[in-house]
Amino acid sequence: METEASEQTSSELVDSFGRRIRYLRLSITDRCDFRCVYCMSEEMTFLPRQQLLSIEELLMVAQRFVALGVEKIRITGGEPLVRQGLETLMRGLGALKQHGLKELAITTNGSQLPRHAAMLRQAGVDRLNISLDSLDPARFKQLTRTGKLEQVIGGIEAAQAAGFSDIKLNAVVLKGRNEDEVLDLVEFARERKLDISFIEEMPLGEVSDHGRGETYFSSDDVQAAIETRYPLWPTAQSTLGPSRYFRMPGSSTRVGFISPHSHNFCASCNRVRVTAEGRLLLCLGNEHSKDLRAVLRRHPGDEQRLEKSIIDAMQLKPWRHHFTTDGDVQVVRFMNMTGG
Ligand code: SAM
Ligand code: SF4
């Protein structure tokens, strides 16, 4: 049962622990042209299209969040650049900058950037995160199952040619798979003037490829590997949000660590997620959620009711996640469903 919409709305989103929510991660599809071993199973069943939020519904959700004080939106998936209607959506989101949106970002595997980078820049996308776990073509293929390294490198180059200067690489580090490439990835980022974040694998969904416990490699170990070559100096942003950032001598590249296991960041969490099917998720590592698609479809065009549902849902946001590294799957959703 949905709660009845009241006349009253507030202009900001605050959870029951006093954390102000300013950041929305919006997943626009669960589909992807890759099948990364830590994200998906080899055989995936994707949602029927009518279960996904339509482009109009996605825009309506984004508009309500911006009206409620959200300043940053990151578009993710699945692979966001394979979504039909991408251009209409991105132009609509770009227009929200006239209504309080300060930053529009995308997380992508990069494969479709050669054909979309210029449009995204024009639509008002400020920043890109591009996933890159290996610089070895054979290994890249193993990790992504269907991806081609050269396509992603081409995507990075297309984004830089289109004028994106704020590009960050994301690398998930797995023991026994790519932990020996940490320094090569850092060199690649330095040469191309990109930032890079190293991510600890999270136990979302049961992946067929490996037990999560087997492949756990901590951010502290990644940091130690980098420090064999470069000292890492903490930056002012090093304690904000889930990423801890560092600088190195002789380079503008920042190195980030996203460490849900070894450095819990929940106390400063300012974000929520909306899945491709319109489920508002209050925490990456928990199931607390609100079905916004039901509100949108039962009451088409009722902005106030949607806004009220979003405000009420903030009370469901839990204090923290409880990921462990012992290989247990604690959240049955896959990352492509969650919107990483
Ligand atoms: N397809 C896009 C991409 O790969 O960048 C966007 C969606 S993907 C789910 C977002 C990010 O989540 C990627 O950087 C990916 O490496 C990361 N990711 C996926 N599964 C993960 C897991 N189990 N643990 C940690 N990070 C994961
Ligand atoms: Fe696709 Fe991104 Fe998941 Fe890889 S991490 S399978 S690119 S959604």
Rounded to 5°, angle at Cα 110 from 118 and 131: 135
Q: Residue 9's pLDDT is what? A: 45
Band of pLDDT at residue 182, cut at 50, 70 and 90? very high
Which atom of ligand 1 sits closest to the CA of residue 202? 24
How far away, in angstroms, is 39 Cα from ligand 1 center?
6
Q: Is the pLDDT of residue 3 over 50?
A: no
Given this model, what pLDDT does residue 155 score?
A: 98
Tell whether ligand 2 has an atom less than 6 A from the beta carbon of residue 39: yes
Q: Tell me the average pLDDT of the chain.
A: 88
What tens digit of pLDDT does each residue of 95-110 get?
999 999 999 999 999 9
Taking only the tens place, the pLDDT of each residue in 251-287 is 999 999 987 766 666 777 788 999 999 999 888 666 6
Q: For residue 3, is it within any domain?
A: no
Cα Rg, the chain, nearest whole Å: 19
131 lies in some domain: yes
Is residue 6, in this structure, part of any structural domain at all? no
Q: CA–CA separation, 203 vs 120, rounded Å?
A: 31
What's the pLDDT score for residue 259? 79
Please choose from 47, 141, 335, 337 the residue to mutate so as to test ligand 2's pocket, defined by most ligand atoms within 8 A of CB: 335
DSSP assignment, residue 3?
A: P
d(CA 96, CA 68): 12
pLDDT at 325 over 80: no
User: Amino acid identity, residue 11?
Assistant: S
How far, in Å, is the centroid of ligand 2 from the Cα of 173?
14
Amino acid 330: pLDDT? 46
Give distance in angstroms: CA of 138 to centre of ligand 2: 17
Q: Which residue carries 């939106």 as its tokens?
A: 73
Confirm whether 128 is domain-assigned.
yes
Ligand 1 environment, Cβ below 6 A? 32, 38-39, 76-77, 79, 107-109, 131, 170, 172, 199, 201-202, 204, 335-336, 340
Strands 167-173 and 289-291: unpaired
Task: Tally Cβ neighbours within 10 Å of residue 94.
Answer: 18
Q: Kindly indicate the confidence band of residue 319, based on its pLDDT and cuts at 50, 70 and 90.
A: confident
Q: How confident is the model at residue 5 (pLDDT cuts 50, 70, 90)?
A: very low
Assigned domain for 10 exists = no
Dihedral pair phi/psi, residue 282, rounded to 5°: -85, -15
pLDDT of residue 287: 66
Say if pTM beats, i.e. exceeds, 0.85.
Answer: yes
The CA distance from 194 to 156, in Å, is 10
In the numeric block, the tokens 């903490």 are attached to 234
- Cβ(108) to ligand 2 under 6 A? no
Tally of structural domains, the chain: 1
Which ligand 2 atom is at minimum distance from the Cα of 335? 3
Ligand 1: residue of 257, 335, 336 to mutate (most ligand atoms within 8 A of CB) is 335
Taking only the tens place, the pLDDT of each residue in 190-222 is 999 999 999 998 876 666 677 767 888 999 999
Q: What is the pLDDT of residue 334?
A: 57
Q: Which atom of ligand 1 is nearest to the CA of 27?
A: 7
Q: Which of 233, 235, 244, 290 is nearest to 268 (CA)?
A: 244
Residue ranges making up the domain that contains 240: 23-338
**Domain-embedded: residue 16:** no
Mind listing the pLDDT tens digit for each residue in 43-56?
889 999 999 999 99
Residue 179: pLDDT above 90? yes
In ligand 2, the atom with minimum distance to the C-alpha of 144 is 4
Does 271 map to a domain?
Answer: yes
Nearest ligand to residue 44 Cα: 2
Q: Is the CB of 321 under 6 A from ligand 2?
A: no
Question: Considering the domain boundaries, does residue 263 fall inside one?
Answer: yes
Q: How far is the CA of 80 from the centre of ligand 2 (A)?
A: 10
Contact 335, 32 (CB under 8 A): no
166-196: b or e for each residue (b if 16 or more CB lie within 10 Å)?
ebbbbbbbbbebbeebbeebbebbbeeebbb
Write down the residue that tokens 């049961």 correspond to: 206
Question: Looking at ligand 1, which atom is closest to the CA of residue 79?
Answer: 1
Per-residue pLDDT at 4: 41
Supply the pLDDT for residue 328: 46
Residue of 41, 106, 199 with the most ligand 1 atoms within 8 Å of its CB, for mutation = 199
pLDDT greater than 50 at residue 177: yes
Instruction: Give distance in angstroms: CA of 262 to centre of ligand 2.
Output: 23
**CATH number, position 141:** 3.20.20.70
Q: Is the minimum distance from the CB of 34 to ligand 2 under 6 angstroms?
A: yes
Give tens-digit pLDDT for 152-171.
999 999 999 999 999 999 99
Supply the pLDDT for residue 262. Answer: 62
Residue from 172, 175, 284 to probe ligand 1 pocket by mutation (most atoms less than 8 Å from CB)? 172
Please give the pLDDT value at position 277.
Answer: 97
